[in-house]
Copies of this chain bind each other. A is one copy, B any other.
Amino acid sequence: MSENEKLTIVMFSGDMDKAIAGFIIATTGASMGMDVTMYFTFWGLNIIKRNEGKIKSHGIMRKMLNRMNRGGAKRLKLSKFNMLGMGTWMMKKLMKETNTPSIDEFIKMAQDMGVKMVPCSTSIGVMGLSADAFREGVSSIAGAAFFLNEARQSKVTLFI
């Protein structure tokens, strides 16, 4: 087992602003030599859904949920001032102007830096998602016991 200090982040929210915060902290931690695990649960699963194609699921209610709640890094919205997408579009432009990576780029950077991205098995079950809902490079799904075991060994644990 590694002796690096650990950083564990629960990504509960699927809001663009919180996702950015999570990835800035995660990639900064990795660049400081920390072992970083991001645990994606509930709306946070949207961040790591693949951008292309349809997300399949069984039953009318799950089909509705997964259509409304499509997700994918490119579809996340600001928690405030979304204004039918205009605020979100503006924020993306401002980030680009200041050379801040997009969430899509942040995910790739984080993966290249060895950040582990783990989807929560319970949320996946309730929402009826299959493994192919997620983008490449995402780890196997795991439950809350996995998260707590990481967290209890971590110097820093955040719930975002």
Which residues of A does B touch, CB under 8 Å?
Answer: 5, 7, 10, 12, 17-18, 20-21, 24-25, 28-29, 31-32, 34, 41-43, 61-62, 64-65, 68-69, 79-81, 90-91, 93-95, 98, 100, 122, 125-128, 143-145, 147-149, 151-152, 154-160
Q: Cα distance A17–B64 when bound, in Å?
A: 18
Given A18-B12, A61-B93, A94-B61, the answer on whether A147 and B68 have CB atoms closer than 8 Å is no
Q: Which residue of B lies closest to A28 (CB)?
A: B144
The 9 closest A-B pairs by CB, nearest first: A28-B144, A158-B159, A152-B155, A151-B156, A98-B125, A61-B90, A24-B144, A98-B126, A94-B126
Contact A152 B148 (CB under 8 A): no
Contact A94 B81 (CB under 8 A): no
Given A12-B18, A148-B156, the answer on whether A94 and B122 have CB atoms closer than 8 Å is no
Q: CB-CB < 8 A to A127: which residues of B?
A: 94
